[in-house]
Amino acid sequence: MVPTWAIVLDYIMGMIMWTLIGRAFMNIFQREDSTFFFMKVFVKYTNPIINLFKPITPSFLFGGFIALYVAWFFYLFRFYAMPYLLGYDVWGMLAFPLESDFSRQLYQLFN
C-alpha cells in the first residue's frame, strides 16, 4: 500500500510536470505573451517554477524547451526518487498514481 503522502506528492508533481509539458506544446502555436486565455494560464502558473530552475537552466535553451527541461526534472524525481523513498525497486510508467488513475478512468469510459 502506497502512503497517502506519496500519492498526494506524486499528484502535485505530476500536475506540475504535465502543465509544463502543456506550456511547451502551447508555445508551438502561441507566443508566451499571447492574449489567448489558456496560454496566459499556462504562463502564469508555470513561470514561478521555471524561475526557480533558472540557475540550472542552460542559456542556449529557448521558448518551450525551457519548460520541457524543467518538466524533465519533475519526471526524474517521480520516476527515480519516489520509488527509492518508498522502498520500491521499479515502479514503471503506469505505476505513477496520477497516470495510473487517469488510464483506469479512460479504460472505464471506453469499455
- Residue 46 CA to residue 23 CA, distance in Å, equals 8
Q: Return the higher-pLDDT residue of 3 and 73.
A: 73
Is residue 63 over pLDDT 70? yes
Q: Return the higher-pLDDT residue of 25 and 94.
A: 25
- 96-111 confidence digits (pLDDT tens): 777 778 888 888 999 8
Q: Are 87 and 46 in contact (CB under 8 A)?
A: no
Per-residue confidence (pLDDT) for residue 92, from 0 to 100: 60
- Residue 94 CA to residue 14 CA, distance in Å, equals 12
- Residue 82 CA to residue 99 CA, distance in Å, equals 14
Is residue 90 over pLDDT 60? no
- 12-62 confidence digits (pLDDT tens): 999 999 999 999 999 999 888 889 998 899 899 999 999 999 999 999 998
Per-residue confidence (pLDDT) for residue 60, from 0 to 100: 94
